[in-house]
Amino acid sequence: MDKIELNEMLFYGYHGVLPEETKIGQRFNVSLSLSIDLSKAGKSDNLQDTVNYAEVYTLCRKIVEGEPKKLVEAVAESICEQVLATFPLIQECTIKLVKPDPPIPGYYKSVSIVLTRGRI
């Protein structure tokens, strides 16, 4: 299956369990890998035969910068659900959501989750 990938989209949101996360907010780094048959678009050179990744970006931004959730798992699940619901050509959505600066004592680069959701 072909892929459209949106890599390291940066957003600022207010998700988290701790009060300072929902009050101060923090950065989120989101990458998507979208499984889609691109053969028709490759031959037609027509945007209607693919997915407009600017629209995917806008949807992700709306979710991450929108209503706060306690868990990044819930944020990622919402993105996958809405991507699949909005863009019927996409067969599968894999998301990597990185929280670069969670309030955890210690030394580490980041915390991230990866989800894959597809059509039933």
Q: What is the 3-state secondary structure (H, E, C) of the chain?
A: CCEEEEEEEEEEECCCCCHHHHHHCEEEEEEEEEECCCHHHHHHCCHHHCCCHHHHHHHHHHHHCCCCCCCHHHHHHHHHHHHHHHCCCCCEEEEEEEECCCCCCCCCCCEEEEEEEECC
Q: How far apart are CA 89 and CA 73, in angstroms?
A: 24
Catalytic site residue from 62, 70, 99, 109: 99
For the question of residue 99 being annotated catalytic, the response is yes
Which are the catalytic amino acids? Answer: 99
